Amino acid sequence: MNERKKRNWIRLIILIVIPLAVGMLSSFVTGDSMTMYKDYNQPPFSPPSLLFPIMWTILYILMGISAYLVTGPEVPARQKSAALTIFAVQLVVNFFWSLLFFKMGLVLISFFWIVMLWILVLIMILVFRRISKAAAWLQLPYIIWLTIAAYLNLGIFLLN
C-alpha cells in the first residue's frame, strides 16, 4: 500500500472513531439514566429502546465517512475548515443533548436543544454538499433520526 492510500485509511478511521468515541462517552456519562426513558409515557410510534444504540452507531459511522469525504487533500483549506468546524460543533451539541435529556431530566430544554442540533445538522449538510454530494446524502439518515428524536422528546414532555 502506498503512503497516500495509507494516510487516507488512517484519516478515515480517525474520522469514524471520533464520533463513535463521542457517542460512547455520552453513553458512559449518562449511564443508568437512560433506563428512565422506559418509565416515561411514550408518544405513538415510539421505537423500541434496543433500536437507539444501533441507529446511533450507524449514524456516527456515517458522520465519520462524510467528514472523510469533505477533508480530502483536494478540498480547499477554507472549505475543509468550514466543514470540520460545523462537524465538530454539531458533535458537541449532540453530546450535550444526552446529558440534558437523560442525566439531568431537562426534557423541555433538551427539546429546544435537539431543534438547535437539527438546524446545525442541516447547515452541516449544506456545507458538506458544496464539497461532496455523497457526504451530504450520507447525513440524510441523521437528520431524519433527529426529526424522530425531536418528536419523541416533545411527546415525552407533553405526556409526562
96 within some domain: yes
36 lies in a domain? no
pTM for the model = 0.95
pLDDT for position 36: 79
Residue 134, CA distances (Å) to 53, 63, 70, 111 in order? 24, 12, 9, 29
Which residues are within 8 A (CB) of 77 and not within 5 positions of it... i.e. 6 or more apart? none
Total domains present in the chain: 1
Per-residue pLDDT at 32 exceeds 90: no
The answer to whether the CB of 70 falls within 8 A of the CB of 80 is: yes
CATH at residue 70: 1.20.1260
25-34, 62-71, 105-114, 128-137: range with lowest mean pLDDT: 25-34
Identify the domain containing residue 59 by its residue range. 3-27+48-159
Kindly provide the b/e burial profile for residues 75-107, where b requires at least 16 CB atoms within 10 angstroms of the residue's own CB.
beeeebebbeebbeebbebbbbbbbbbbbeeeb
Report yes or no on 32 lying in a domain: no
